[in-house]
Structure 1
Amino acid sequence: MSERCAWCGTDPLYVAYHDTEWGVPNHDDRHLFEMLVLEGAQAGLSWITILRKREHYRRAFDGFDAERVARYGEADLARLLADAGIVRNRLKIESAVANARATLAAQERFGSLDALLWRFAEGSAPTAPPRSLAEIPAQTAASQAMSRELKRLGFRFVGPTVCYAFMQAVGMVNDHVEGCFRQRDIAALRCATSPPPSP
């Protein structure tokens, strides 16, 4: 069996997420919007709870099409609040709609959501991997800066801890621990993939 980060345990869904997605550099606006919404929904909950609801979230939020979500009104909010397949927290649901609108504004201003967010990546140069989960921070100066900027631009549920979890998920940092087989894979991907230049 390949050695993995301990946080994913043995749940097949969690293991698959660890093995195929977490930490992979991603520059797709729809995926980035999805992860912002899901990381915000996760606040105060476990990530496996959100993973188990992820497919339902995709159906409930029109495949995370920001243009469609940005047009949601009171009827959509009522529908979502009654949907047991997602986290039925009004503030989190309203934040998803606000974040869709902020995403469209960011695309207009910066060219893409990707161009806005990846400015906060902590560089593409390889760094020493964390030796244990205890060495992985909950937030960093970069995630604090991202949080401040996103809040200024109208995004919600984007505190520095949420932003750092987002950065880990979409490959802005490589926090697979030393000895995890994905540490080397992601390090190679990060060397081969550089974010597009900011406009």
Structure 2
Amino acid sequence: MTASDLIIGSDGLARPAWAATTDLLRHYYDTEWGMPVRDEQGLFERLSLEAFQAGLSWELVLRKREGFRAAFAGFDPERVAEFGEGDVEKLLENPEIIRNRRKIEAVIRNARAVLELREDGGLVDLIWSHQPAENLAPETLADIPSRSPESEALSKALKKAGLTFVGPVMCFALMEAIGMVDTHLLGSHRRGTSGVWGEA
């Protein structure tokens, strides 16, 4: 493990470098990242935020998270599915979010797809059915892949269901964020805390 992979904070706890740079990222890493999300609205929010993050920094998305929640009706898929062109235009003028027409329209389209998925098991079952059989045990950041066979399969399944901005790299990031894979580095104080994989 290189010195830069884990940083010991002033609290004596080890975190990866990306989670040790700002208070916002540190709090997100310590309290949320890698913890299971098993409700439809929670997963729709994570999918939507991952879509907005594409090509940008995750810290920027986190800074605007409350703005996103207000703008997208708390990421209630039933309410977002009813958004029309007028709502899109209003969102494009909203400085509290990332104003990208393709991403905004994708979130609305995805909300409608999520509602249709309810007839076939639902978003939660679809996503969690792609949990890998074995967990990862990365010692260094270089050990963590950007995609996996499971994220590729999840991407295909989500696209088949009508969702967009759900490529295999984005799906792997989602799987990390919701604890489907535990990519906390060995030695991190958060390793094994999700309860999904135990301590390994």
Partners of 1:50 and 1:59 lie apart in 2 by 14
TM-score after normalising by structure 1: 0.90
User: Distance in 2 between the 1:128 and 1:13 partners?
Assistant: 26
2:184 corresponds to: 176
Question: If the length of structure 2 is used for normalisation, what is the TM-score?
Answer: 0.90
Asked if structure 2 preserves the Cα contact closer than 8 Å seen for 1:129 and 1:183, the reply is no
8 Å contact 1:121–1:173 — kept in the other structure?
A: yes
Q: Is the 8 A contact 2:136 2:182 kept in 1?
A: no
Deviation at residue 191 of structure 1 after TM alignment:
4.2
Structure-1 residue corresponding to 2:96: 85
Aligned-partner SS, 1:4: strand
Question: Superposition RMSD on alpha carbons, in Å?
Answer: 1.2
Contact preservation (8 Å) 2:35, 2:193: no
> Which among 180, 190, 195 is matched to residue 196 of structure 2?
190
- Provide the residue aligned with 1:113 in structure 2: 123
Give every structure 1 segment of 4 or more consecutive aligned residues whose post-TM-superposition deviation is greater than 2 Å: none
- CA deviations 1:33-76 (Å, max 9, x no partner) are 00000001100011111011111100000000000000000110
Paired residues, number: 187
How far is the alpha carbon of 1:28 from its aligned partner?
Answer: 1.2
- Displacement after TM superposition at 1:128 (Å): 5.0
Give the Å deviation of 1:9: 2.3
Match of 1:47 in 2: 58
Residues 191 and 176 (structure 1 numbering): CA distance in 2 closer, same or farther, change over 3 Å?
closer
Kindly indicate which of the two structures has a greater share of residues assigned to helix. Answer: 1
The separation in 2 between residues aligned to 1:140 and 1:152, in whole angstroms, is 18
Asked if 2 retains the 8 angstrom alpha-carbon contact of 1:56 and 1:85, the reply is: yes
Q: Give % identity.
A: 46
For structure 1, the 5+ residue unaligned runs are 193-199
Aligned residue identity for 1:105:
E
Give, in whole Å, the separation in 2 of the partners of 1:128 and 1:99: 29
SS in structure 2 of the partner of residue 182 of structure 1: coil
* Higher normalized contact order (CA 8 Å, seq sep 6+, divided by chain length): 1
Please identify, of 51-60 and 2-11, the stretch whose mean Cα deviation from structure 2 is larger.
2-11
Please say if residues 182 and 192 of structure 2, whose CA atoms lie closer than 8 Å, have aligned partners that are also in contact: no
